[in-house]
A and B are shown apart, each in its own frame.
Chain A
Amino acid sequence: MTGPLLSVDDLRVEYRSGRTRIRAVRGVSFEIRPAERVALVGESGSGKSTIAAAVVRLLAPAATVTGGGIRFDGADLLSAPPRRVRAVLGRRIGYVPQDPTVSLNPVTRVGEQIAEVLTIHGLANRKTARIDAVAALEKAGIDHPAERARQFPHELSGGQRQRVLIAIALAARPALLVADEPTSALDVTVQRRILDHVDDLTADAGASVLLITHDLGVAADRTDRILVMSHGRIVEAGTPEQILGAPQDPYTRSLIAAAPSLNTVGTTFLDRARLAAPAHTPADPPDAPDAGSAPIVEAVGLVKDYHSGGRSSRAVDDVSLSIRRGRTLALVGESGSGKTTTARLVLRLAEPTAGEIRFDGQDITALRAGALRRLRRRIQVVYQNPYDSLNPRMSVGRLIEEPARSLGIGSRAQRSARAAELVDLVGLASSVLSRRPAELSGGQRQRVAIARALIVRPDLVVLDEPVSALDVRVQAQVLELLARLQAELGVAYLFISHDLAVVRQISHEVIVLRGGVVVEQGPTEDVLTDPRHEYTRELLAAIPGHAQRPPHGESDAGTAPSTARAPSTALASSTAPARSGAHTTGDIR
């Protein structure tokens, strides 16, 4: 029993649909030793999830293994009869799926779903399984485990459901845990606590881990060895120190350069865009404090209550904000923090219970139909998911022209000329105008959504998590584009995000929200380098990639003032020492 626990040998997997064949995995070999934690890192389409699915025998019907083998504990998994495979799954290999919201059976109590693993493998009878399920829930860090066991999945939050799935995967004390992006659908602080918990539980049990992730920071923090995948092949393998410290492959280097969580010091896209922008830009005054310029949007004392079944809950509680022309304000918080509701209030898509909103000096709090419609021309929105926000039946050209057409701006010829200009401006080829969204990649779609928002020449664009559905390298490109467009067009952004590392790249000022209340606000650099509130520190600490960071300055020109910061005040080190609360010198408003 000194050999590897799992060995994948020259694995090849193809997806077939009609006559097209996509080689998703093209000869991948690696081993996992007992108690070793290995990460497969790559972007969507790299084949990493296909490998996980092959190991737990959950390949989609369209996928075929065309070569190679998977051996677990010495036995071939691929050629074993179903009965033998079933004896291993759940018992010796635990699996944590990607999306906790859809991975639990909606009509079965969660306790039963955990107990099922034990009864299938004869590890408990119906009675003892129920008790063991409660114990497993407690171990997975769920409060009130006995009551929760009797609840249905829809009664739990996303993080709690992921804990249930982890309890299912670990209930039978497996030797290997396969986790496919286990926390990418969760808030950062929840992600951190859950991954901590998985670390503890697997370390206790001496289990090996195969972690599939798109996040090099997560991989570096949580595993002993990282395998970087691109286009179905492993392009680089090594310890986190090797991969992040001295990446050999150009692909790995581009991943590291793009990851906001690994670039928490140094120049930002904002700095670079400002340096690159032509000197005669209309609205954006360089980086002067520009205290004199009036805000384009200003909200004072916003309150939003929701009523349901006689109860009322306060989603937004006394939030005030102001954004100047050509600047970016970020609203940061986790789900339920009220950041999206606040943006909806500013957009006048929701009625504030109290408070006042002024746009370009005019009170818009009580604006009605016609005037509100004219306001729409000056405020536009870009949504999180570029897959859902573009009508699949319209051509890209029509999609981009749509807001101008529905608001009756310009002639038909003017609109299509403007659409062509915008496509160029957001860095797409003019040939996309006649294509449909389905033919574009996620990053291209988000560029289309940005072009669509800009066609009416708005003063303010609300960006609702615009990059969180994208791969890191694409994310970096889109952030760069947004920063450049702002420098060129002088548009203001209200940027909604849960990710402080992304926020740092793009925004001038930041408001941290929790439970509808502003916990901290101020210039981005000040808030991130010297957070005053405990919750902000927690958010910062939750950014993955603390264990390993590339030597700073790697991608920096060294000209921006922020690089001059001593490492001790940089974001990377704000975790533990800052917790003491000693830093109170920062001047926040």
Chain B
Amino acid sequence: MSNEQGSGLARYVLGRLAQAAFVLWAAYTLSFLILWSLPGNIIANITGGQATDLTKEQISKIESTWGLDDPLWLRYLNSLGRALHGDFGISFATQQPVSRLVAQSIPPTVAIAGLGFLFALVFGVGIALAATRARWRWLSGLLLALPPLGVAIPSFWLGLLLIQFFSFAIPIFPSTGNDGFVSAVLPAITLAVPTSALIAQLLASGLQQALAQPYADTARAKGASASRVQLRHAFRNAVLPALTVSGLVVGGLLAGSVVTETVFSRNGIGRVTASAVSAQDVPVVQAVVVFASVVFVLVNLIVDLVYPLLDPRIVTVRRRRLPVTPIPEGV
């Protein structure tokens, strides 16, 4: 029995890993094909817009050093092989190794994204709990109107507004830069607003549904207080649908970093993405796509593995010791 359990779990995890690998490969291939079929003069991108001044020999020399004279399928195989070893080539714009460029810009983004996620959790969960607990209907209505508003506010405008108030009017936080925790607060808030709105929305509707379930009535009939019913009984059930979209949440943070880092003039993956896209720096964009898909795949993998722990009904591994029905009633 335990052997069967072990192999079941191993098969589940292996299956998930295989899926993850497939998603990564598909993301790489699709982005490779799309990026290399974009219109635009690659030589000009590499040389910084001076392609017209170049002689034929110079062009063919550039083509051979960058491997551009190879057919597309060969370039694809070569770059895929290198990417598997962590080598994403040289940036067209900066002539630096792409891996180093991306690796350097990850930590500052992780700082604001992590802090932003924390804020988003606190705001989102707080709003959802308060809205479903409010004794007055108008208050709960007001709180439930916040998430749509939060999604609707453009990040760049919110960022500028925050700078206006907390950097210029009341100078608490710096408006730009990468210096330590203080500089990360305003960008993190900017990132957190749309994310917390998503969390609040999902969690509030989950809580409302859970509180209307008969099992919530069972808890109330035990003499449980409203907060006990909400936190002990409804919350764990309501958190499950919210968990399912964690991939979206993390994706939202990454996407938000493009605007946020630009507004706050911060270094990070968002800035790198923005400048690489505008310069058609294909190797860098390719690496960013791979990075984003790795994050997505990892988050979803973690969620898939954690889910059965939170929801016992999802049976991925047989661990029952007693049969479900065959035991006769009232023996």
Kindly state whether residue A421 has any CB partner on chain B within 8 Å: no
Across the interface, A144 reaches (CB within 8 A) one of B224, B236, B322, namely: B322
A residues near B310, Cβ cutoff 8 Å: 107
B236-A107 in contact (CB<8A):
yes
Contacts of A155 in B (CB 8 A): 320, 322, 324
Would A120 and B313 be within 8 Å (CB), given that A89-B220, A309-B318 are in contact?
no
Contact check, A105 vs B219: say whether CB atoms are below 8 A apart.
Answer: yes
A116 adjacent to chain B (CB < 8 Å):
yes
Q: Please, could you name 5 A-B residue pairs with CB atoms under 8 Å apart, sorted by A?
A: A58-B221, A105-B218, A106-B237, A116-B232, A152-B312
Residues of chain B within 8 A of A160, CB atoms compared: 329
Q: Which residue from chain B places its CB closest to the CB of A157 in the assembled complex?
A: B325
Residue of B nearest to A147 (CB): B322
- Which chain A positions have C-beta within 8 A of B320? 155
Stretch at the interface among A95-103, A248-256, A430-438, A544-552: A95-103
A301 interface hit (Cβ, 8 Å): no
B34 an interface residue at 8 Å Cβ cutoff?
A: no
Report B192-228 residues with CB < 8 Å from chain A CB.
213-215, 217-226, 228
Query: How many Å lie between the Cα of A90 and that of B229 in the bound state?
Result: 14
Contacts of A94 in B (CB 8 A): 221
Known: A120-B222, A121-B223, A155-B322. A103 touches B329 (CB 8 A): no
Interface residues of A in 171-198 (CB under 8 A from B): 189-190, 193-194, 197
Let me know if A193 and B237 touch, CB within 8 A: no
Contact of B237 among A86, A95, A105 (CB under 8 A): A105
Q: A103-B218, A104-B215, A117-B223 are in contact. Are A154 and B322 (CB under 8 A)?
A: no
Closest approach, in angstroms, between the C-beta of B220 and any C-beta of chain A?
6
* B223 x A89 contact (CB < 8 A): yes
Given the known interface contacts A106-B237, A107-B236, the answer about A157 and B218 at a Cβ–Cβ threshold of 8 Å is no
Pairwise interchain contact B312-A56, C-beta atoms closer than 8 A: no
Binary flags per residue of A97-139, CB closer than 8 Å to B gives 1, else 0: 1110011111110000100110011000000000000000000
Chain B residues in 8 Å Cβ range of A168: 218, 222
Kindly state whether residue A394 has any CB partner on chain B within 8 Å: no
Please name all residues of chain B whose beta carbon is closer than 8 Å to the beta carbon of A528 when the two chains form the complex. none
Minimum Cβ distance to chain A for residue B233 (Å): 5
Q: A103-B217, A105-B219, A336-B325 are in contact. Are A86 and B330 (CB under 8 A)?
A: no
State the 6 A-B residue pairs at the shortest beta-carbon distance, nearest first: A90-B223, A95-B221, A90-B222, A89-B223, A152-B312, A103-B214
User: B331 near A: Cβ within 8 Å?
Assistant: yes
Q: Specify which of B218, B233, B236 lies most central, judged by the most chain A CB atoms within 10 Å of its CB.
A: B218
How many residues of B sit at the interface, in one of the four size bands? 20 to 34
User: B70: CB under 8 A from chain A?
Assistant: no
Nearest chain B CB to A249's CB is how many angstroms away?
32
Distance in angstroms between the alpha carbons of A194 and B330 in the assembled complex:
8
Instruction: Determine if A141 and B214 form an interchain contact, defined as CB atoms under 8 angstroms apart.
Output: no
Q: Are B327 and A106 in contact (CB under 8 A)?
A: no
Give the tally of cross-chain contacts (CB within 8 A).
110
State in angstroms the CA–CA spacing of A157 and B329 once bound together: 9
Q: For B329, give its contact among A56, A89, A190 (CB under 8 Å).
A: A190
> Is B69 interfacial (CB 8 A cutoff)?
no
B188 → A minimal CB distance (Å): 32
User: What per-residue 1/0 map shows which CB atoms of A66-89 lie under 8 Å from chain B?
Assistant: 000000000000000010001111
**Chain B residues with CB below 8 A from A144, complex form:** 322, 327
Chain B residue with minimal CB distance to A100? Answer: B214
CB-CB under 8 A from B311, the residues of chain A are 106-107
Any chain B CB within 8 A of the CB of A305? no
Instruction: Say yes or no for B85: interface residue by CB 8 A criterion.
Output: no
Known: A86-B224, A90-B222. A156 touches B324 (CB 8 A): yes
Given contacts A86-B224, A107-B310, 7 further A-B contacts (CB under 8 A): A88-B223, A90-B223, A106-B237, A106-B312, A107-B236, A144-B322, A155-B324
* A193 touches which of B220, B233, B329 (Cβ 8 Å): B329
| B56 interface residue (CB < 8 Å to A) | no
* 8 Å CB contact of B214 from A97, A120, A151, A169: A97
B325 and chain A: residue at smallest CB distance:
A157
For A333, list chain B residues within 8 Å (CB): none
Task: State how many angstroms separate the Cβ of B312 from the closest Cβ of chain A.
Answer: 4
What is the distance, in angstroms, from B16's C-beta to the closest C-beta of chain A? Answer: 19
- Of residues A91, A105, A160, which shows the largest number of chain B Cβ atoms within 10 Å of its Cβ? A105
- Known: A86-B224, A154-B312. Contact between A58 and B217, CB under 8 A? yes
Name the residue on B nearest A99 (C-beta). B214
Quick one: which of B221, B320, B322 has the most chain A CB within 10 A? B221
- Shortest CB-to-CB span from B329 to chain A, Å, is 5
Give the residue name and chain of the A residue nearest to B223 (CB).
A90
- Interface flags, B141-154, vs A, CB<8A=1, else 0: 00000000000000
For the complex, is A327 an interface residue (Cβ under 8 Å from B)?
Answer: no
Task: Determine the residue in chain A with the shortest Cβ distance to B324.
Answer: A155
Interchain CA distance A97-B220 in the complex, whole Å = 12
